[in-house]
């Protein structure tokens, strides 16, 4: 079983859109911090939302650099059932390194919240004014994106795959 880099941006975006949760890693001066979050992908940005206060918010104000992970798949596979180090989890992962921008403009916050809901539902949503004003919306500008497929079957010239 092999690990392959995924280079095709469409395939990378399909992996992201198939996930329901991303994991956002951030760090202040001396302690890393990771949170599971809902998200949306909007071109070369990732949209996140949260309360406008708390540990995450304060950490990102001090250091706007983040790393985001999406993982799709959890199937266990092995080459030899009796050999522990031949076990792998078949999965595809995407990593984004980026820089946070806090969004305050009302219409942009509303647009981003609608995009976030579109990640999870085909319904059209409307938001009232207090909901938009009281939510924190974060745009992560993608500086670097990479993806891998783990536990893939090796393709050989003599295989049928």
Q: Domain ranges in the chain?
A: 2-152
Contacts of 34 (CB under 8 A, 6+ apart): 23, 24, 25, 26
- pLDDT at residue 159 in the model: 46
pLDDT at 154 over 70: no
State mean pLDDT over 128-143. Answer: 97
Instruction: Scan for tokens 């990771």, then name that residue.
Output: 34
Whether this prediction's pTM lies above 0.75 is answered by yes
Residue 79's pLDDT band (cuts 50, 70, 90): low
Please, is 117 exposed, middle or buried when counting C-beta atoms within 10 Å of its C-beta (0-12, 13-18, 19+)?
middle
Return d(Cα 45, Cα 154) in angstroms, integer. Answer: 33
Tell me which of 2.40.280.10, 1.10.1740.10, 2.30.110.10, 2.60.40.10 is the CATH number of domain 2-152: 2.30.110.10
């Amino acid at each position: 079983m092999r690990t392959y880099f995924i280079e095709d941006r469409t395939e990378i975006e399909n992996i992201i859109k198939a996930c329901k949760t991303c994991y956002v890693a951030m760090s202040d001066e001396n302690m890393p911090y990771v949170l599971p979050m809902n998200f949306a992908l909007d071109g070369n940005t990732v949209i996140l939302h949260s309360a406008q206060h708390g540990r995450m918010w304060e950490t990102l104000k001090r250091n706007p650099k983040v790393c985001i992970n999406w993982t799709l798949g959890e199937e266990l596979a092995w080459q030899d059932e009796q050999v522990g180090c031949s076990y792998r989890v078949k999965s595809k992962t995407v990593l984004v390194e980026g820089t946070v921008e806090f969004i305050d403009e009302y219409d942009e916050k509303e647009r981003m919240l609608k995009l976030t809901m579109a990640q999870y539902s085909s319904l059209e949503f409307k938001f009232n004014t207090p909901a938009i004003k009281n939510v924190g919306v974060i745009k992560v500008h993608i500086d670097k994106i990479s993806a891998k497929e783990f536990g893939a079957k090796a393709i050989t010239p003599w295989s049928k795959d």
